[in-house]
Structure 1
Amino acid sequence: MNTNWLDYTLLTLVIIGAINWGLIGFFRFDLVAFIFGNMSWFSRIIYALVGLGGLYLISLFGRIRSVDQA
């Protein structure tokens, strides 16, 4: 299975999550809650996917390191 699409998809999702956290930190504005409702089932799924995407992308450090050593 080619994980390249998975890497790009999750990276995009995590970037969107980071932008949302920036909006929360700077302006106290939660874009996900604004669009989907405050802690609705759908917003919770989005938060969970962003978190899982971040955990998966931790593996990116090891993959970058192995490419650098090759």
Structure 2
Amino acid sequence: MRTMDFIALLLMIIGAINWGLIGFFQFDLVATLFGGMDGWLSRIIYALVGLAGLYGLSLFGKIDNESVRRTE
């Protein structure tokens, strides 16, 4: 499961950096690198980042469980 967590975290970081670039500079790095927002490769990257974000929601349960184990 650690591999999946690492991949999800990596994709979430890529997404966060991309959103930061869009917010600050109106520059979409994913679209620039992979053929525009409507390009099939860009859409795959956007979808993977979105799925990683949804998977990231499950990590909140892991954080809570780890903090409970430490206090016991």
Instruction: Using structure 1 for the length normalisation, give the TM-score.
Output: 0.94
Structure with the greater alpha carbon radius of gyration: 2
**Unpaired runs of at least 5, structure 1:** none
In structure 2, the residue matched to 1:58 is 57
One of 18, 21, 32 as aligned partner of 2:19: 21
1:5 is aligned to 3
Q: CA offsets per residue over residues 1-45 of structure 1, 9 Å max, x none? A: xx0011011101110110000000000000011011112011000
4+ residue runs over 3 A deviation: none
Number of residue pairs the alignment of both structures matches: 68
Q: Give the distance between the partners of 2:6 and 2:50, measured in 1 at CA.
A: 15
Q: Which residue of structure 1 lines up, in the alignment, with residue 66 of structure 2?
A: 67
**Aligned partners of 2:51 and 2:7: how far apart in 1?**
12
Distance in 2 of aligned mates of 1:35 and 1:8: 23
Where structure 2 has 5 or more consecutive residues not aligned to the other structure, the ranges are none
The percent of aligned pairs where both chains have the same amino acid is 62
Superposition RMSD on alpha carbons, in Å? 0.6
